[in-house]
Amino acid sequence: MLSDDLAMSLLPGKIPKELLEKVVFRHLGAKRKEVALGPLAGFDGAVLDIGDYSLIVSTDPITGAVERIGWLAVNVNANDVATFGVEPAFMLSCIMLPEKADRNMVETISNQMDKAAKALGMAIVGGHCETTPRLSNPIVVGSAIGIAAKGKYVTAGGAEKGDKLLLTKTAGIEGTAILALDREKQLKNSIGFRTIRKAQEFYKQISIVKEAITAFKTGEVHAMHDPTEGGVAGGIHEMADASHLGVMVFEESIPMAPETVEICRFFKIDPLQLVASGSLLIASSRDSAEEIIHTLGKSGIQAVAIGEFLPSPERRLVKCKNGKVKKLVRPVNDHLWLALKR
C-alpha cells in the first residue's frame, strides 16, 4: 500500500525517486541473464551483454518543447548512451501528434530527426508514428543504442570518494533554448533581442557525445551523467545516488551563461534546477581531472571542476558564494515547468 505522499497527484516531469523505486522497479517482467544493468535511479540507460559485446540502451521523451522537437529527441537519447563512454549507433522513435497535425508537422519532425541522426552517425531503424486524441502538442519518445566491447564502459554509479566532479559547458542549456524559442513573445519586452537570439542558439550545444567520448578516452573517468530534468542540481543528486556517495559543490565554480541568468531571472526560476541537456557531469580521479579538462579544452569544450565526492551519502552540500554551506537542493520538479506556466 502506498504512503499518503505516493497517493497524491504527481507534478509534471519525472516522478519522485521513492515512487520509481517502490512501484516501477518492482514490476520489471521476467529476469534475463543478458541484463548486466537494469533500471536503477540515477543511471542513464541499461546494459545488455550479448556474446562479446555490451549493448547500451537508453530511452527518453521530449515533452516540454515544440520547436526542434525531433532534433532534441535524437540528441537527448544519444547523450544518454554517450555517458557510458560509448558512441550511439541506432535510434528508434515513437512520434505522437496532436489531433490537428498535418503533413507539414510530420515532415518537420522527421527532417529534424534525420539531420540530427546523420550528424551523429546514427541510423534510425524503426518506431511508430500516430495522431493521438486529446494531445495539444507533439511528443517524441526516443530510444538509442550503442555497442561496446563487453564491459568497456562506465556508468553514472562509478564515482569514488575523493573524486573530482567536473561540469562541461554551462548550467541550464536546454531549458534556456526552449524558453527562448517557445516563449520569445513573452520575453521580448523585457529582454534584449540579441540575448534572446543568442539563447535560441543554445540548441547547438545540446549534444554531449563529443565530450563524453573524449573524456572517456582520456582515461581515469569513473562515472559520467547527463543532467536533464532537474537540471545540474538534480543531475548531481542522481550521480551521487547511483554511486552511494555524498558531494560538496562549490557554487561560485558553476558556470552560467548570461543569457541563462537573464531568462531565469525573468521567470523567477533557479538555473541549477532547469533542464540541462548539453552539459556533462564527470567523476574523475583527482590526478586526472586537470588532464581531462585540458584535453576537452583542446577540443573546444569548456570544462571546470565544480566539486568533489564525499564518503557519506547523507552529505549533499553546496558552498555558497558568501562562504556559507547549505544542503544541495534536490529538485521536486524541473523549473522549466514552472516557467511554462507563467
Domain coordinates of the chain in residue numbers? 32-149, 164-340
The amino acid sitting at 227 is: P
Fold of 32-149: 60s Ribosomal Protein L30; Chain: A; (3.30.1330)
- Note the pLDDT of residue 98: 95
- Note the pLDDT of residue 7: 58
Q: Which stretches of the chain score pLDDT less than 50?
A: 1-3, 6
Cα(90)–Cα(95) distance, integer angstroms: 16
- Note the pLDDT of residue 51: 97
Cα(183)–Cα(177) distance, integer angstroms: 10
- Note the pLDDT of residue 64: 72
How many residues in the chain?
A: 342
- Note the pLDDT of residue 341: 87
Separate counts of helices (H) and strands (E) for the chain: 12, 13
The angle formed by the CA atoms of residues 294, 299 and 305, to the nearest 5 degrees, is 40
Cα(180)–Cα(196) distance, integer angstroms: 6
The hierarchical CATH code for the domain 164-340 is 3.90.650.10
Cα(39)–Cα(309) distance, integer angstroms: 23
Cα(117)–Cα(119) distance, integer angstroms: 5
With H, G, I as helix, E, B as strand and everything else as coil, classify residue 80: helix
Per the confidence metrics, is the pTM higher than 0.85?
Answer: yes
Cα(239)–Cα(246) distance, integer angstroms: 10
- For 219-251, the DSSP string reads S-EEEEE---TTHHHHHHHHHHHHHT-EEEEEG
Encode 164-193: b = buried (16+ Cβ within 10 Å), e = exposed.
Answer: bbbbbbbbbbbbbbbbbbbbbeebeeebee
Cα(255)–Cα(244) distance, integer angstroms: 26
CA-wise closest residue to 138 among 101, 107, 177: 101
